[in-house]
Amino acid sequence: MSTTAHPSAAATSYWETEPHHHPEGASTSLGFWVYLMSDCLMFAVLFAVFGVLGQSYAAGPGPKVLFDLTLVAINTAFLLVSSITFGFAMLAMYEGRQSRMQVWLAITLFFGLAFLAVELYEFHHLIEVGAGPQRSAFLSSFFALVGTHGLHVTFGSIWLVTMMVQIHRKGLIPANQRRMNCLSMFWHFLDVIWIGVFTFVYLLGMI
C-alpha cells in the first residue's frame, strides 16, 4: 500500500453519483399497489365506523326489514363474473389479441354497470321507504360504506371506458399495458372489498 494515491483510486466511488436509470414505468405497479393499500385503510375506517354504529337503529328500521339478500346475491354474482372476464381480458392482452380483449372488456363493463344499476335501485328503494342516510347512525354508516364502494366501481367503469378508447386508438403499446395492469388490480381489489361488504353488512346483519 503506497501512500501516494493512484489517480484512479481517487475516483473510487463509495456511492453512486450518477442517478441510476429506471426503465419507464418500472415502479408503476408497486406505486399503484401502495395506493390500493391506502385505499384499503380508508375502507377499513368505514368498516370500523359501521362496526361501531351498525347497531344504532335510532328506533328506525334494521337490516332485516330493509335488505333483500336475493338482490345482494345477484350483485355479488355480477361483480364476481366481471372479475373473471377482466382476467380473460388481461390474458388476451398478454397474447396480443386486441379485438378479443376489447370484447372481454366490454363484457366486464356491462357487468360493472349492472352492479351499479342494482345498487342504485337498492339505494333509491331505501330512500323512498324513508330509510335514507339521515334516518339513523346505522343507515348513515351503511350509505357511507356501500356508497364509497359504489363510487369506486363508478370510477373504475369510467377508467375502463377510457382504456377501451385508448387501446382502440393507440393499440397495445407498453403504456396501455401498464395502465391495464393497474386497472386490473383496481378492479380485483374492489371485488375483495365487496367480499367484506356482503359479509359484514348484509350477511351478518341478516343472521
Partner 1 sequence: MSTHSIEPHSHHEGASHDGHDHGSYKSYITGFVLSVILTAIPFALVMTGGLESRALTAVIVIAFAVVQILVHMVYFLHMNSRSDEGWTMMSMIFTVVVVVIMLAGSLWVMYHLNTNMMPQMDHNQMQGFGS
Q: Interface residues with partner 1 (CB under 8 A)?
A: 1, 6, 8-9, 12-14, 16, 20-23, 26-27, 29-30, 33-34, 37, 40-41, 44-45, 47-49, 51-52, 69-70, 72-73, 76-77, 80, 83-84, 87-88, 90-91, 94, 174, 177, 181, 185, 188-189, 191-192, 195-196, 198-200, 203-204, 206-207
C-alpha cell at 36: 390500493
Residue type, position 41, single letter: L
Q: Which is nearer to partner 1, 26 or 120 (CB)?
A: 26
Residue 160: Cβ-neighbour burial (10 angstroms; 0-12, 13-18, 19+): buried
How far apart (Å, rounded) are the C-alpha atoms in residues 178 and 136? 44
Instruction: Report the 10 Å Cβ neighbour count for 49.
Output: 16
How far apart (Å, rounded) are the C-alpha atoms in residues 86 and 106? 9
